[in-house]
Amino acid sequence: MFESIKKNDDFLKVYHNGKSYANRYLVMYLLKTGEDYNRFGITVSKKVGNSVVRHRVKRLIKESIRLNMDFVKNGYDIVIVSKKSAKGLNYAPIESAYLHLCKLHHILIDRE
């Protein structure tokens, strides 16, 4: 299981001081902390859909994080924001978008 970002202040710190990249479905904010673990925050706006839809998108993002944890460098606070276009997708495009953003941030470890 991964550590979560829960406090609004922590989210704001990542938004204001971190670096962000976006693709078609997700936006990823990244702030280096120097800890030996990562903390993740996931945000899915009401613009994406009702609570059922938002929760499904959130679960898909969480699963992408969980299954690829071993391939992401440690020491970061990471906030992932879902875009409207993520509504109704299945797992594969969400995971692909997540890994694409990890590559852009240079936090992906080679899978060898």
pLDDT tens per residue across span 50-95:
999 999 999 999 999 999 999 999 999 999 999 999 999 999 999 9
Q: What is the span of the domain harbouring residue 59?
A: 3-104
Report how many domains make up the chain.
Answer: 1
Res 2: pLDDT: 73
User: Is residue 110 a part of any domain in this protein?
Assistant: no
Res 111: pLDDT: 66
CA dihedral 77, 83, 85, 86 (to 10 degrees): 40
> Whole-angstrom Cα distance, residue 25 to residue 84?
7
Q: Characterize 82-109 residue by residue with b for buried, 16 or more Cβ atoms within 10 angstroms of its Cβ, and e for exposed.
A: bbeebbebeeeebbbbbbbbbebbebbe
Res 112: pLDDT: 55
Model confidence at 110, pLDDT cuts 50, 70, 90, reads confident
User: Is residue 112 a part of any domain in this protein?
Assistant: no
What's 60's domain CATH number?
Answer: 3.30.230.10
Phi, psi of 23 (to 5 degrees): -135, -160
Nearest to 60 by CA among 79, 85, 36, 86: 86
